[in-house]
Amino acid sequence: MALPRTTTFCPICGIKLHGRLDKIFCSDTCKSRYHRNKNDERRPVTRTIDSILHRNWKILSEHHTAIGKKKFFVSLALLSRKGFHPNYYTTSSENSQQKKYFYVYDFAWMMFSDKELMVIKLEKPK
């Protein structure tokens, strides 16, 4: 048994709804507009962090392409000049020697020395 419809009009455009009793929107366009507006409310909160994560990935990717190796070493000062922020990453883990790895999508890095990072290109994101 279907629940009675709580609204008889589309909440986006106001057109009277016809058809199924659990119908909420009059069309796919109104449904998409509703979800796009809902996502737009959250975007300002996450946009800054997302852009930093993408910039970090892009910088590491450029170095990976230039060097051409799966594992490479790069100066932290050089990365910082390009806009790399080591405090922004997608996840982290520790290896068996308690060395901490930081991940940004399909790249991992760890502090190799005070001034240098060891970066590894992963086969799949972690």
DSSP letters of 56-92? HHHHHHHHHHHH--SEEEEEHHHHHHTT--TT--SEE
With residue 92 as reference, give the H or E element that holds it: strand 91-94
Percentage of the residues of the chain whose pLDDT score is greater than 90: 60
- In this structure, are residues 108 and 122 in contact, taking their beta carbons and an 8 Å threshold? yes
For 29-59, the pLDDT digits (tens) are: 999 999 988 877 777 778 889 999 999 999 9
Q: Name the DSSP class of 6.
A: S
Give yes or no for a contact between 64 and 72, defined as CB atoms under 8 angstroms apart.
yes
| Residue 113: pLDDT band with limits 50, 70, 90 | confident
Q: Is the pTM for the entire model greater than 0.95? A: no
